[in-house]
């Protein structure tokens, strides 16, 4: 297992399959891609950081710069801003989505996980209607989500 893979240069990712790594943690990288995307609305980022400055003040070390503090706490804003994030204009979400898709393509190829669709379908089947289409308006307050067929 590799923690902190988000901080590694891309050329090292080919080493993981060579060395038999079976789990690689990349959540931070995907969050960084979202928050640091040129398409991410600057005003929304300011609002998020303003909220974090008060709601997460207990996580701030005296030695933290603003950049360090927001980097380590911004993941906590995803939940409270979920409705706003999902409600971003379709073109904004699409721009951020393209960068994420490019990264996933790179990872699947480099980690030699391409060609595993049959395995994924068997153990993690797609649930139709579980993801909105890129052009759809999304509401985070719709009610209970249908999780039929999903496993823990």
| DSSP sequence for 26-78 | -HHHHHHHHHT-TTS-HHHHHHHHHHHHHHTGGG--TT--HHHHHHHHGGGHH
Indicate if the pLDDT at residue 135 is higher than 70.
no
**pLDDT single digits (tens) 62-103:** 999 999 999 999 999 988 999 999 999 999 999 999 999 999
The pLDDT score that the predictor gives to residue 54 is 96
| In a domain? residue 140 | no
Cβ 2 vs Cβ 23: under 8 Å: yes
Rounded to whole angstroms, what are the CA distances from 133 to 40, 79, 86, 115, 126? 19, 20, 11, 24, 14
Question: Comparing C-alpha atoms, which of 61, 86, 85, 83 is closest to residue 71?
Answer: 61
Which tokens go with 105? 């393509």
Distance from C-alpha of 141 to C-alpha of 122, rounded to nearest angstrom = 31
**pLDDT single digits (tens) 30-40:** 999 999 999 99
> DSSP code of 17?
H
Domain encompassing residue 75: 42-87
Mean pLDDT for the chain overall: 86
Band (pLDDT 50/70/90 cuts) for residue 116 is confident
Report, as an integer, the average pLDDT of 101-130. Answer: 88
Q: What's the number of domains the chain is made of?
A: 2
Give the other-Cβ count within 10 Å of 29's Cβ: 17
Report, as an integer, the average pLDDT of 133-151. Answer: 58
* 107 shares a domain with 75: no
Which tokens go with 6? 């988000």
**pLDDT single digits (tens) 46-65:** 999 999 999 999 999 999 99
Q: Residues 51, 56, 58, 61: is their CA dihedral positive or negative?
A: negative
Report, as an integer, the average pLDDT of 133-152. Answer: 58
The pLDDT score that the predictor gives to residue 72 is 93
| In a domain? residue 79 | yes
Q: What's the chain's Rg over C-alpha atoms?
A: 18
* 34 shares a domain with 1: yes
* 52 shares a domain with 34: no
| In a domain? residue 148 | no
The pLDDT score that the predictor gives to residue 61 is 96
pTM of the model as a whole: 0.69
* 12 shares a domain with 76: no
| In a domain? residue 145 | no
């Amino acid at each position: 297992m590799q923690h902190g893979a988000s901080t590694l240069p891309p050329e090292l990712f080919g080493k993981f399959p060579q060395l038999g790594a079976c789990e690689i943690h990349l959540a931070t990288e995907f969050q960084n891609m979202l928050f640091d995307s040129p398409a991410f609305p600057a005003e929304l980022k300011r609002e998020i950081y303003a909220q974090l400055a008060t709601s997460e003040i207990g996580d701030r070390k005296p030695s933290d710069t603003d950049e360090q503090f927001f980097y380590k706490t911004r993941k906590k804003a995803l939940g409270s801003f979920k409705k706003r994030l999902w409600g971003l204009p379709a073109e904004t979400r699409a721009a951020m989505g393209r960068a994420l898709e490019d990264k996933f393509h790179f990872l699947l190829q480099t980690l030699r996980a391409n060609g595993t669709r049959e395995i994924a379908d068997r153990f993690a089947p797609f649930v139709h209607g579980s993801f909105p289409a890129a052009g759809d308006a999304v509401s985070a307050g719709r009610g209970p989500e249908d999780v039929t067929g999903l496993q823990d």
